[in-house]
Amino acid sequence: MKLGCAGCLLLAVVLTFIVALAGGFFFLSGNIFEEPHFEPVDWTRADASSARATLREVLMRDAGQSGRQDPVLLSEREINGLVVRHLAETAGLRFDPFAIKLVQGQFRLQGRTVFRSLLQGPPFAQLAPYLPASQLNRPIWITVRGHVAVQPGEPGGKAGQARVVLTEFNLGKQPVGIWPFSAVMGSAGMGLLKWPVPGTVRDIDIEDRRVVIRTR
């Protein structure tokens, strides 16, 4: 019984520390709820369908059903539609407004969601029910910069892997480093940062206003 009580006490201390740490990070940093400068991009949600139709060519090449070797191109509009749908379907992250700008070698993603959408990893998901609804429903802006790296697989066989390499992560106007994204999002966040690609994909390059997929 004494060991049980000691365990409860230890658990209470740990939870108190976590709550204090989380509260200190999120609520004492007032800048995370301030609106940053936002540069809109012209796109519609229908652009996701156009992007998926373009990506079918990659699947056909991997299956040996297409002999084309020219780069597969996705426009900035298509990338916006594809990514915003992927974020909603994969991790329940819904943004309005939302914009991805593509410049040589990197992307910049900006969007507004609600605070509760970010609390998906332990222990934040377990603590969320005890936080005030007024805080959980507060709008919060995310600004992310990074690039995409590919570990190639084998054409027609072993799948490769693409991953997003983050170089900047801001909440509101507050730079918070890269680790908080994985910490608060948990496995859902990791699933957004890496995904399988057909083995025929050699690399994915970001150019001005487009993404270039090269195959083997």
Q: Other C-beta atoms within 10 Å of 155: how many?
A: 18
Region of poorest pLDDT, from 68-72, 110-114, 168-172: 168-172
Domain count, the chain: 1
CA dihedral 46, 57, 69, 108 (to 10 degrees): 40
Range of the domain at 35: 2-215
Q: pLDDT tens digit string along 29-46? A: 568 889 999 999 999 989
Q: Percentage of residues in the chain with pLDDT exceeding 70?
A: 84
Is residue 118 very low, low, confident or very high in pLDDT (cuts 50, 70, 90)?
Answer: confident
pTM of the predicted model over 0.85: no
Residue with the bigger pLDDT between 4 and 33: it is 33
* Tokens representing residue 51 in the block: 């992007």
Q: pLDDT tens digit string along 42-82? A: 999 899 999 999 999 999 999 999 999 999 999 999 999 99
Identify which of 85, 84, 88, 79 has the alpha carbon closest to the alpha carbon of residue 98: 84
